[in-house]
Structure 1
């Protein structure tokens, strides 16, 4: 009975993981099926396009898996220290931005993701197809997947169109009607996908050249900046290199070579002062955060200690308690 129960528990765990990663598995199945059909076309009519598609498929699958398993990065993993780091984005009172949920300071362009329940360095957006946040460490991988998929879908449209046309124009067509059904489905899918991916990739390419994340492009406070005064816009080439790396021979390879550590970025010389968001304007200097783990109200040893603890308040910015009478 114990052996059977163990197998049932293992099946439940595998089923839960399958459900959680359903979109990722579905995407990999679609990529593999498309490559199989394209490879059949290549075998019937060998060409360099089929070899190019195989290389694209390998790069696409590798980048997709790599982006899924790569954490986007947090201020804690980057060992962010606001006292020794020159930050552009500060609150209205001049204090560093602070996350009351993660109980840590936020570096420039860092935002809290409610789905991941964590602050993300240079957060672009949370993507369900990747089951991950797109941030500093995996932004390049995400963009390469979009670029590979766009190129692959366009070449699939061309290869399937040529294969179907060749069959109908041949004097004695020898290709099975089953293949025509599969190729017709691939053509329709690739054609629709290429339209979506071209628009999506062009949009993200524009954001890369302007050095703006998806979240920043949607925030009303960032819309007040012009291109010339946008703080992180340091020129088209430098903007591109911020994410894709400084070495051109690695730009289109799934290699993590983005510039910096995700906490400090070059600032445009014509940048306007940072415009805090409405949430940052409403924050006070003292967040409603919990005190350190060592501090427990039910562990007071005496009335004197209870009085002393009630007469001071935890300041998360200083990392210590301070007396209330000094604050007042």
Structure 2
């Protein structure tokens, strides 16, 4: 701060102190030399006052000078070289009449929409609904589904698994006991009751040790800590043999029978073996993924069959895309299809607008590549 004060006093010759500093420097170094000495003192004082570095100070000075030059350039080009344009765009001053000027129209960029072919080999044949068929529509009977002997799940020796879980946790200093066992179609859940003060992270970190002690069929166990709605910790062990769940069992379950919504589909059995249904209309997105043989095609076919058993073509219209031609082409000819199963990749960009008449449903950009 002292350097800044000395520099300012010397430059402006303020008071006796300022004149003394200026006269002595001019006598020793001339006027130009005195100016540069005072300027250097001012810059050093600024750097010390703001506790910054020389490079940061130079960057700030360059940015300030750049803004000043841009403002001067804009003023010169607007009011000197284009005075007419500046007068037109200038706002009305006090005491002047405000003229009625038309506001400039915004430029709207309209994106090009894909052209949907209306004729030729790429055109889609829309299948209309027959009023006569709708009036005499009869739902398919569940007797069409075969009565199959359902294969029960093999959970192994449940008592031995319970003892092994308790002894393994006890060897790591965790006191727990199996309070509940829930046998599901693919896994069996052992609900553990733990003593107060036990950290759940200690249990979740022992998943591999439990899998080793239990000789889990897949080499892994899942720990759910805690079980939602319960004060238990769940240890889920894969069954040695999964249970086969038939579509007829799901369609006749209370979860499906008591929900009249047309888009309710079977999801399978939960960890306790109870049927679970889901409403497709409440799914933001659906992605079915899994390894080979995990049941992706099975669940997809179960959903389509569920829609066919529970809805009329007036309730639900389907658009199916099957580029591989191996999964969905068997549904060609069913009355629920909006068009035949799409198998040509060039038709996957379909952009259609469908008015269902009663519900006023608009479908846009229905088919994406590989979608169904």
**Greater length-normalized contact order (CA 8 Å, ≥ 6 residues apart):** 1
Give the TM-score, by structure 1 length. Answer: 0.19
If each structure's helix is expressed as a fraction of its own residues, which one has the higher value?
Answer: 1
Larger Rg: 2
Give the TM-score, by structure 2 length. Answer: 0.17
